[in-house]
Amino acid sequence: MTKQVQQLDRVIIRFAGDSGDGMQLTGDRFTAGTAEFGNDLSTLPNFPAEIRAPAGTLPGVSSFQLHFADHDILTPGDAPNVLVAMNPAALKANLGDLPRGADIIANTDEFTKRNLQKVGYAASPLEDDSLSEWRVHAVPLTSLTVKALEDFDLSKKDAERSKNMFALGLLSWLYHRPTEHTITFLEQKFAKKPEIAKANIAAFQAGWNYGETTESFSVSYEVKPASLAPGVYRNISGNQALAYGLIAAGVQSGLPLFLGSYPITPASDILHELSKHKKFGIRTFQAEDEIAGVGAALGAAFGGALGVTTTSGPGVALKAETVGLAVTTELPLIVVDVQRAGPSTGMPTKTEQTDLLMAMFGRNGESPVPIVAPMSPSDCFDAAIEAARIAVKYRTPVMLLSDGYLANGSEPWRLPEVSDLPDISQEFLTEPNGADGAYLPYKRDTETLARPWAIPGTAGLEHRIGGIEKADGTGNISYDPDNHDLMVRTRAAKIAGIDVPPLEVDDPDGDAKVLVIGWGSTYGPIAAAVRRIRRTGGKVAQAHLRHLNPLPANTGEILKRYDKVLLPEINLGQLALLLRARYLVDVISYNRVRGLPFKAEELAGVIQDVIESD
C-alpha cells in the first residue's frame, strides 16, 4: 500500500516500559540514528533507582525521552508527541504528560488482567474508551517479536527480550531513521553471541517491515536535518563530555591526570569513561569509599598530577574534610559533584541543584573554593577545562557542579579543534625561591597569590605538608593569631581575585524591564521560555552564570540594571539567597524540587506573570 509521508519540524518521543524492557538502550539507539541523520536533539533518560523494581509496577517504570528537530532546540521537550508504552504501568505513569491528540503505541500483549491489577486498572484502558482523546495504536509487540524469531534457536522468554528492538525498528520506520548504525551496533555488542546478534537484528528489521506493511500506520513522518555550523559532530552525554574535558585538561596542562573515585549514581560513568583512556596518561583508582577517593586524588596532586575526584551529593559530604585539607595545603584538585535529589540517599537517579550552598560553605573554617557549573551536556567539556585552569593556576580545589539531568542527557557536540583549546600549563618550581637560598613554600605569586608547586623529592625543595596552619612564607607550623588572620584573608583574597569573564546579558533591544538569570542545567528551559515570550512580543533579558564563586565582577551592576530579576532554580532558592545577601537585590525566586528539569512552558508562564505584575 502507498503511504503518505508528512513533514514535521520537530518531534518528541518517549519510550517507556519496565526497567527490564531495555528502554534506555532503545532510546539511546534511536538517538544515535537521529544524530547520524543530522537533526538537532536533546534527551532525558528517566529510570528508577532500584536495580530491579517489581516487574510491571509503577516504581519500576523506566523511560527515555528524545526531542529532535530541523532547527536549534534547547530542551528534551515539555510533552511527548508519541508515547511507546510497553505495559500498563508505563501507560499510567506517563499518560499525565501526554497532550490530547498525541500518539500512543501500546504493547497489547502486556495488558493482561494481572498487569492491569498491579497498577490499579479495573479494566484495560485500551478497550474502555478512556483513551479516546489520544490516537491509540494497539500493537502486539511481544507476540510479533516471538513470531519473527521462531526460526531462531531461542526460548520464548529469550525471544521476548528482543521486543524493544522490534519497537525500535517500528519507530525507525515511522520517522525515517537510518538503520545501518543500529545493525552495526548490535553486531558489535553481541559479537561473542552471534545468534543473539542475529535475533536482535531480525527483530529490529521485523519492526521496520511491520510499519511498512501494516494498515495501523498509514502515515510516516520526516524531520529534515538541522542547519548546523560546519564541523564534525557527535552525540554526547554530559558525563562523556566531562570525561573528555578532563582528558583534554590533562593534555593541555601537561600533567598526568589521576582520578580517585568511588562509584555513585549519577557520577559513575565518568569513572567508567576515563578508565578507557590510559593512553593519554590517565590513571583511575576505584577507591573503597569516598574519603579514600578524594585522599588519593589530593595525594596525586601533591605528587605533581592533576588530581580529580568525582561523586554526587552524599559523597561531597564525606569528602569535605579532605577538600578543606586541599584548601590549606593549597594544592590543585577538581571535585566533580553530579548533583542528585537529596537529602541523604534521596532519589539517586533524579536531578536537583541543591548542593550549591554545600559547595560554598560545606567545610569547617574559612575555606572558600571556586565553583564552576556547566549549562548543557556538551558544555561539560568546556567547564571541565575551565575548572582545571583555575585549579592549576591558583593552586586550589575547584568544585564543578553538574547534575543528573546534564550527566545522563545528550545533545550534538561539535568537536573542537585541538589548536583552539586553551594552554593551561603551569611550571613546577625547581630551584629555591628564598633570598638566602631557602625554599619558601608559601611565598606567593604577586598576581595570583598562588604558592609555588614543587614535586616531592626535588633537591632543596623539601617542605612540610598537612592540615595545621602554616606560617606565611616558610610554611612552618604556626599558632600565631596574626599569622592565622593573614593566611585566612590571603586564601580568601586568592579566590576572590580569580579571573573570570564578565557576565553577558541577552537583551536584544536593550529595553527589557525583567531579567531572568540562572545557573547550571536551567539554561535550556530558561532560554526556551525566553524564546516563547519574545515570539509573542514580550520583552525579557536573560543571563546565565557559569562561575558561582567568585561571581563575575559585573554581576551586581547587571542585577541592578533591571526592575525585576527572576531566578528559577531546582532547589529552594540557594543562589537567590547568595545574590540577595551580596547585592541587596530583591531577587524573585521560582523553585521546584521534583527531581525533574523545568518545562519551558511552565517557565514562560512564570516569566509572563512577572512581566505583568505591578
Mean pLDDT rounded to a whole number for the chain: 96
**How far is it, in rounded angstroms, from Cα 508 to Cα 503?**
16
pLDDT tens digit sequence for 539-585:
999 999 999 999 999 999 999 999 999 999 999 999 999 999 999 99
Whole-number Cα distances in Å, 171 to 18, 97, 521: 18, 20, 29
The torsion angle over the Cα atoms of residues 492, 494, 500 and 502, rounded to 10 degrees, is 60
**Residue 551 confidence (pLDDT):** 98
3-state secondary structure of 604: helix
Going by pLDDT thresholds of 50, 70 and 90, the confidence category of residue 216 is: confident
Q: Which of 142, 153, 134 is nearest to 207 (CA)?
A: 142
Count of CA atoms in the C-beta half-sphere (13 A) of 252: 23
Edge-to-edge strands, sheet with 505-506: 505-506, 541-545, 514-519, 564-569, 588-591
* 2 pLDDT more than 90: no
* 144 pLDDT more than 80: yes
**Residue 464 confidence (pLDDT):** 82
**Residue 1 confidence (pLDDT):** 61
3-state secondary structure of 10: strand
- Is there a contact between 359 and 221 (Cβ–Cβ < 8 Å)? no
Whether 4-223 and 234-420 share one fold: the answer is no
**Residue 61 confidence (pLDDT):** 96
* 402 pLDDT more than 70: yes
**Residue 209 confidence (pLDDT):** 96
**Residue 50 confidence (pLDDT):** 82
The CATH homologous superfamily for domain 4-223 is: Pyruvate-ferredoxin oxidoreductase, PFOR, domain III (3.40.920.10)
- What CATH number does domain 234-420 carry, 3.40.47.10, 1.10.1050.10, 3.40.50.170, 3.40.50.970? 3.40.50.970
Please enumerate in sequence order all residues whose Cβ is within 8 A of that of 447, keeping only pairs 6 or more positions apart, or say none: none
Tell me the three cell numbers of residue 18: 519496565
Please enumerate in sequence order all residues whose Cβ is within 8 A of that of 262, keeping only pairs 6 or more positions apart, or say none: 286, 287, 288, 289, 290, 292, 293, 311, 315
**Residue 469 confidence (pLDDT):** 97
Region 453-478: what's the mean pLDDT?
94
Tell me the three cell numbers of residue 132: 479516546
- Is there a contact between 415 and 231 (Cβ–Cβ < 8 Å)? yes
| Residue with cell string 527490564 | 20
**How far is it, in rounded angstroms, from Cα 102 to Cα 80?**
7
Count of CA atoms in the C-beta half-sphere (13 A) of 309: 34
Share of residues in the chain with pLDDT > 90 (%): 96
Region 185-213: what's the mean pLDDT?
96
Region 474-478: what's the mean pLDDT?
95
Region 49-71: what's the mean pLDDT?
92
> CA torsion sign, 134 to 31 to 385 to 406?
positive
* 69 pLDDT more than 80: yes
- Is there a contact between 69 and 60 (Cβ–Cβ < 8 Å)? no
Edge-to-edge strands, sheet with 257-261: 282-286, 257-261, 306-311, 333-339, 397-403, 371-372, 547-549
Domain ranges of the chain: 4-223, 234-420, 427-499, 505-612
pLDDT tens digit sequence for 78-94:
999 999 999 999 999 99
The CATH number given to 505-612 is 3.40.50.920
| Backbone φ, ψ for residue 187 (5° rounding) | -65, -40
* 458 pLDDT more than 80: yes
**How far is it, in rounded angstroms, from Cα 142 to Cα 229?**
42
* 410 pLDDT more than 90: yes
Region 348-364: what's the mean pLDDT?
97
* 71 pLDDT more than 70: yes
DSSP letters for 219-270: EEEEEPPP---SS-EEEEEHHHHHHHHHHHHHHHHT--EEEEE---TTTHHH
Region 168-183: what's the mean pLDDT?
96
Q: Is the pTM of this model over 0.85?
A: yes
**How far is it, in rounded angstroms, from Cα 292 to Cα 321?**
12
